[in-house]
Amino acid sequence: MMASIKGVPICKACCATNNNHRHCYYYSKQIGLSESGSRNLLNLRVQNKWECRLGGVLTKTQTATTPVEENDKPSVDGNGETQITEARGFHRDLQSLPRPLSAIDLSSSLSDGSKVRVAYQGLPGAYSEAAALKAYPKCETVPCDEFEAVFKAVELWLVDKAVLPIENSVGGSIHRNYDLLLFHRLHIVGEVQLVVNHCLLGLPGVRKEELKRVLSHPQALDQCEMTLNKLGVTKVSTNDSAGAAQITAAERVRDTGAIASVRAAEIYGLDVLAERIQDDTDNITRFLILAREPIIPGSDRPHKTSIVFSLEEGPGVLFKALAVFALRNINLSKIESRPQRYRPLRIVDDSNKGSAKYFDYLFYVDFEASMAEPRAQYALAHLQEIAKFLRVLGCYPIDTTL
């Protein structure tokens, strides 16, 4: 591919002093592009050159192969001629501009995350906070009252990312968050699988046999039903498990306990009366990591792609939609259907008497392939011919750690 050179007017110090912008040009020369196309865009090198001609006389030329740093300002020598030093780094304003995250950015953040602010629903000590700390061990966690507030925090640039529970191996899918994924324009950039360890907490010095009521999130109470029935306690629902621990610590009632995490016990000064009291020991919650910009999909490690689509009514339409993945040997790891909130019913014919009505559904699908793979691209192109609506929610590395 041949290199391209473009010239556009710019304003430099020399132009400002002479009030003449007609002879000041900025050249951007792109070199290093290969014939293989867009996949080699990462090999692109940009060579920038600006030239100022005052009265047709060239005064100074700069060729920069690295961006200009804020402190790299022109200096004046003894003869009054402008001297331009070599640039050394990115300008601060350029660093502040938003850009798509890359797979390298994600992997480096996963190992550090010291500068990342992550929003989650609940109070400190919630399982969502534990998932955020697993993804970004040194991040700053930001609690939010509701799931809607978590999305808003990212959209309003109050935080960098959000961690959102999407499904549990015992309780199933969290439908509210599926609906919010469609309503908001955030991108899935990762996932976290967290082993849930439900603990029975109480005030210091209290034995579990003394408890008469236990507070927690409704799902946690359901998952520990056998243990609670043996104790003969009254189950009281709260907004989240960490909130139950906070209430127990604040009320200081000896016969009141809570089901929450070990971290919640440490934060609110409670004793762990029993660990792993859930009925099913294999209790895992899957969380999604959301960001304002998508990551660049790679093929160096297993990836997952999440999509949502809708179909016209007809025989075998869903079969045809899912067949686009089977034809290309792409495994589907998740299928979830949700009714369309703004168009729940469809009337088949024009008659209002005795006409059949169908529910309009959206289908959420996770498939194990990267968008960088041709087979995934061909599958989605094929699906687009069948679906009346299609949106890619994100392509991200698969979390294989527990």
Q: Give me the sign of the Cα torsion angle 187, 192, 198, 202.
A: negative
**Distance between CA 273 and CA 269 in Å, rounded?**
13
**Catalytic choice (147, 151, 287, 325):** 287
Short-list 163, 291, 158, 170, CA closest to 220: 170
Q: What angle do CA 311, 315, 321 make, to 5 degrees?
A: 45
DSSP 152: H
Asked if 285 is an active-site residue, the reply is yes
Report the half-sphere exposure of 121 (CA within 13 A, side-chain side). Answer: 19
Structure tokens at 269: 């000064």
Alpha carbon distance 396, 288 (integer Å): 10
Contact 223, 198 (CB under 8 A): yes
Laid out side by side, the sheet with 389-397 consists of: 332-339, 361-367, 303-310, 389-397
The label of the residue with tokens 């990462």 reads 42
- Block residue for tokens 């000064």: 269
Residue 208 DSSP class = G
The verdict on whether 401 is a catalytic residue reads no
DSSP, res 43: G
How does DSSP classify residue 65? S
Name residues whose C-beta falls within 8 Å of residue 322's C-beta, 6 or more positions apart in sequence. 332, 335, 365
Distance CA 167, CA 338 (A): 14
Q: Which of 227, 256, 285, 305 is catalytic?
A: 285
| Residues catalogued as catalytic | 285, 287
